[in-house]
A and B are shown apart, each in its own frame.
Chain A
Amino acid sequence: MNHTLSILLQNEAGALVRVAGLFAARGYNIDTLTVGPTHDPSVSRLVLTVQCDEAGLGRIMQQTRKLVDVLQVAHPAAALAA
């Protein structure tokens, strides 16, 4: 199913490429993607939607958390449901 993830990452050269590259390398296609600054200019917020099952979602979120530039990975729908 379709999931929306919200990711905070350090606004550094190559950080967006690394997130996008991770999804591609692990076989997930990003359907939509929005990136913008936060109140802290050194931090960007990235919102993306991706098609995958629950197990795959857990795995890709854990892998995203391993990227050094990533500050936080959230799945707002799951947080609401909880």
Chain B
Amino acid sequence: MNAPALQAETTTDRHPLAGQHMSGAEVIVQVLADEGVGVLFGYSGGAILPVYDAVFRYNALHPRADGGEPMPLIVPANEQGAGFMAAGYARASGKVGVAIVTSGPGATNMVTPVRDSMADSIPLVVICGQVGTAAIGSDAFQEAPISNIMGACAKHVFLVTDAAQLEATMRTAFTLARSGRPGPVVVDVPKDVQNAALAWRGSGELALAGYRARLRAVEQSALGDAECAAFFAALMQARRPLIYAGGGVIAAEAAAALRVFVDAFGLPVTTTLMGLGGFDSTDPLALHLLGMHGTAYANYAVEDCDFVLALGARFDDRVAGVPDKFAPRAKFIAQVDIDPAEIGKVKRVDWHHIGPLTRALERLTAYGRAHGIAPKLAAWHAHVAELKRTHAMDYDRASALIQPHAVIEALNRHTQGRAIISTGVGQHQMWAAQYFDFRAPRHWLTSGSMGTMGFGLPAAIGAQFAHPGKLVIDIDGDASIRMNIGELETVTTYGLPLKVVVLNNSGDGMVRQWQKLYFKGRFAASDKSLHTKDFVLAAQADGFAWARRLDQPAALEATVADFLAFAGPAFLEVVIDPDAGVYPMVGPGASYAQMITGDFIASRKAAAVDEGATSHMF
């Protein structure tokens, strides 16, 4: 970085430490402290040792009133675990998650959580050690081109080659991570920069003229009267309007404003996987999840609606697999998003607003109320209620084998939508999304866009650090949990009262489901029935005092109650029906009208199952 681009200091409040001599590593830790970071996740190594030492000294010098460390450093089994812990912390709390790793393999192990957080718009600051500036480009020990690698998957990456810019860069990283559409920011810090002798300034950020100008434009944009009038004119023409709410509702803390908007105008709400919790799923107007594995009633409502209001949702391929056939009867599509690049990216929209979601919803509500807007939606409400009754979620309740849906229902009877749920990726993730109630934001942590197996356990650990007193449950699969199973030990090392559920169907269930449908049942590399892992022994070996296997349906209720009542870390493996499928399913390249609902959910008409479908979709 060769431009001395320090923003003018607008504050006259002098930092109490201003002018004090500090090393680069101490500057990094002081910025973390000033940003209010309460926990760090990371794994040590040669090129980050100065920062780790500075964290150690900071914690020793600044004990909390209760004697605890102000900034504990939580050590995973693998750096990927640290990244997902930071992401779980951020998802559950709304604050920026922070991870610190060493150069080379430490940093490359962090690539997956960084890309995952970018794809789901999760704010992270990741600090990577780097070999000394003189050694960069020399193929040094544990050197990797992190600014190149992370530049392709993070919101932004800084390689700090000028120590004088370190303090402003660190502060700017937090601003970038949390502003606009949130995302992960990587700061790559060579070891000599960590050891540089610096004077603490206490304020100042990098200028970033382009980014800040665009951010200001978006944050200051307000809905004018004409735009509100056009929106409500279209809404009053509609007889079957529907809200399609995405992860933006969570990221923007807009759930309360959405509730008020729905109370005012009566639009039913369906949410994306990332939007679960943005609207109380037990509400009569809630249609729960839409899309590839959405509820049949949500997907039929999308088929039937004549007006769509997309809120912080991006028409991705798991929702609008065939954009032309998504909401085919909608005469008007409105979209609100913080990211200009999402407007009309997949589907042309008739009305849009780029700006903060909460303010947009509050403005629309105020305008509509002031103008006496009261859509007459009784017939549509009755239709939605009938869809929910006729096409309710259901499964094989007579089976002699434990059905995964029944496990989720049993857990849900205890948690009532109040527990924080994290998941891996695959069938168990979809069953959890379908059968849990979601009553409030930030209770559902899942790798939505990237679909990263192994996300569930470390994300749950991060969430438990964000909410030490809350019930946090990782719903995992036998294949997903294997990806980061080393983190079982992290749970007991830190004495977290986390609850881990493994729905064991002896393999990659979702892969097998697709292989049954599209590859004539050839289970290439997806069957693990001959694998020998004893999950209960594994959990016990990692220190879980409560670890049990459940394989008798009759014992389900009592076991779940006992499991959740245990005060400390608990591990429950449930041997489930290996043939249980995730339904409904909108196949790749299919429209919602062609949705397969399976044997236990009523379909509107027998769907044509194209066994030999050769699609380029995935």
Contact = CB atoms under 8 A, between A and B. Distances in A.
Interface string A68-80: 1111100000000
A1 B176 CA distance: 35
Contact of B341 (A10, A13, A63, A68): A63
A56 to B, nearest CB: 11
Contact of A72 (B2, B147, B161, B210): B210
B618 to A, nearest CB: 16
Contacts of B210: 8-10, 68-72
Contact of B2 (A12, A18, A21, A66): A12
A25 interface: yes
B159 interface: yes
B2 A42 contact: yes
Given A11-B2, A62-B341, A70-B210, A17 B176 contact: no
A64 B148 CA distance: 17
Interface in B313-339: 339
Interface residues of A, number: 23
A59 B3 CA distance: 30
Contacts of B345: 59, 62
Interface in B133-149: 147-148
Interface in B335-361: 339-341, 345
Interface stretch (B150-158, B415-423, B454-462): B150-158
Contacts of B151: 14, 17-18, 21
Contacts of B176: 68
A3 interface: no
Interface in B180-211: 208-211
Nearest to A61: B341
Contacts of A66: 339, 341
A11 B161 contact: no
Contacts of A63: 341
A9 B211 CA distance: 11
Given A14-B147, A17-B151, A65 B214 contact: yes
A9 B341 CA distance: 19
A21 B341 contact: no
B370 interface: no
Provide the main secondary structure of the chain A interface.
mixed
Interface string A10-47: 11111001100100010000000000000001100000
B561 interface: no
A13 B152 contact: no
A38 B386 CA distance: 64
Nearest to A60: B341
Most chain A CB within a 10 A radius of its CB, from B155, B157, B210: B210
B5 interface: yes
Contacts of B340: 62, 65
Given A14-B159, A18-B151, A59 B209 contact: no
Contact of A42 (B5, B152, B341): B5
B525 interface: no
Contacts of A21: 148, 151-152
A68 B147 CA distance: 14
Nearest to A70: B210
B1 A13 contact: yes
A12 B176 CA distance: 17
Given A59-B341, A62-B340, A63-B341, A13 B209 contact: no
B339 A12 contact: no
Most chain B CB within a 10 A radius of its CB, from A14, A59, A68: A68
27 contacts: A10-B5, A10-B209, A10-B210, A11-B3, A13-B1, A13-B147, A14-B148, A14-B151, A14-B159, A17-B147, A17-B148, A17-B151, A18-B152, A21-B148, A41-B3, A42-B2, A42-B5, A63-B341, A65-B341, A66-B339, A66-B341, A68-B211, A69-B210, A70-B210, A71-B209, A71-B210, A72-B210
Given A8-B210, A12-B2, A59-B345, 15 more contacts: A10-B3, A10-B208, A11-B3, A13-B147, A14-B159, A17-B148, A18-B152, A21-B148, A62-B340, A65-B214, A66-B341, A68-B155, A68-B176, A71-B210, A72-B210
A65 B157 CA distance: 16
